[in-house]
Structure 1
Amino acid sequence: METKRLALEIAKNHLQLRGYNGFSFQDIADELGIRKASLHYYFASKEDLGLALIEDYSNSFQEWTQKHAELDSLEKIKKFIDMYSTFSQDGLKVCPGGVFCIDYNTLPPNLKKTVCQLQEQIQEWLTKAVAEGIKSKSIRPTLKPKETATLIHATTQGALQIARMQNNPKAMKSTSLALLSLLEK
């Protein structure tokens, strides 16, 4: 199982730096020092590897949300921005969901469906956090939770890409926090 876990970690790195279509089984096998055929023991196809990556990201996000469940809504959103900021601080990576969205039109149907589920999981959490903020009066009451959640999500993902293009990891967080300041009551 250690080889499988290492393969997933290597695939995460490649995914967030190069995109789903920017790496191959051979790249992962080479880094592991094994034959490509041996990698198929753990993942029947690249699609299966992609599904395992999304499952891992989804589980990690679920654990992350549970860890921050007791925070007030603005603190939750700030922690969300911090989480995304760590991608930028780590070699100007982009978020996994964003990478899969960029490659979306070339993904196999089952992988597309799972990517959408991951995005919905994040969107639902953000929508709930915004709704809580409106209810507690820490977020402007005129805002709509779902649309505001989409705005936060799109801004964090877009800011990661801009930070990469500008070679400026700090740009992601400053852009996202600027948005947050507009939401506060």
Structure 2
Amino acid sequence: METKTQAIEIAKNYLQLRGYNGFSFQDIADKLGIRKASLHYYFASKEDLGLALLEDYTQSFQQWVEKHEQRGPLEKIKKFIDMYHSFSQDSLKVCPGGVLCIDYNTLPTKLQKAVVHFQEQNQAWLETQIKKAQKLSEIKKDLNPKDTAILLISTCQGSLQLARMQNNPKLMKATGLNLISLIEK
């Protein structure tokens, strides 16, 4: 694996375990066994690394969407919750969007804009699935799709944090399933 790819993977791990402000170029360089200055060959700044992380997460989400394309909308929503649950099963990590929202006020402006765009893309995808599920009478038709998408995302992100705090990776999944039972028809 090339150094840039390794650096991104290490940074993803640190981000989801420690937050954006919880790691440095030096941490990544130490893990790679290289000098900190060598990372600047790939990333001019930590902001550039953060933008590369978001690009990587966006590509991963698009691949995830394609993988589940043949599923019905309610099943996709359930798989979305499963995706969040997989974070908690992996060393009680939190989702990248959630951790970047926590650190939002301390992020550089360009990275803040990228985080907003990332969250909006995920929310738009979820809204679309909710509308489709409503048309198929899989979930309640009186729910506002935008508000329900926000509810799902915020519940998933929040329950990941509680799962970490309580050292209980199953908490996130249970919370997600309870939420589904509230919106299902």
**Normalised by the size of structure 1, how large is the TM-score?**
0.99
Structure 1 consecutive aligned stretches of length 4 or more whose deviation exceeds 6 Å? none
Shift, 1:177, TM fit: 0.8
Q: For the residues of structure 2 that align with 1:19 and 1:66, how far apart are their CA atoms?
A: 28
Q: Distance in 2 between matches of 1:184 and 1:101?
A: 28
Alignment partners' CA distance in 2, 1:138 and 1:114: 33
Match of 2:180 in 1: 180
Secondary structure of 2:78's partner? helix
Over residues 16-71 of structure 1, what are the superposed CA-to-partner deviations in whole Å (9 max), with x where a residue is unaligned? Answer: 00000000000000000000000110101000000000000011101111111121
User: Is 1:116 matched with 2:122?
Assistant: no
Aligned-partner SS, 1:69 = coil
Percent of aligned pairs with the same amino acid: 69
Paired amino acid for 1:83 = M
Deviation at 1:128, TM superposition (A): 0.3
Match of 1:129 in 2: 129
Distance 2:25 2:84 in 1: 27
Aligned to 1:71, what secondary structure does the other structure show? Answer: coil
Alignment of 1:29-44 (within 5 A): 29-44=29-44
Separation in 2, partners of 1:177, 1:74? 12
Q: Structure 1, residues 133-178: CA drift from partner, whole Å, max 9, x if none?
A: 1000000011111110110011100010010010000000000110
Runs of 5+ in structure 2 lacking a partner? none
Pairwise CA RMSD: 0.7
C-alpha displacement at 1:78, in angstroms?
0.7
Please name the residue that 1:54 is paired with.
Answer: 54
Gaps (5+ residues) in structure 1? none
Give deviations 1:57-103, integer Å, cap 9, x for gaps.
01110111111112111100110011111100000000000010000
- Provide the TM-score with structure 2 as the length reference: 0.99
Q: Which residue of 1 aligns with 2:145?
A: 145
Match of 1:13 in 2: 13
Q: Which residue does 1:71 correspond to in 2?
A: 71
State how far apart, in whole Å, the 2-side matches of 1:158 and 1:135 are.
Answer: 28
Distance in 1, Cα, partners of 2:129 & 2:46: 35
2:90 aligned with 1:90, yes or no? yes
Q: For 1:118 and 1:67, locate their aligned partners in 2 and report how far apart those are by CA, in whole Å.
A: 19
The farther-off stretch of 65-74 and 124-133 is 65-74
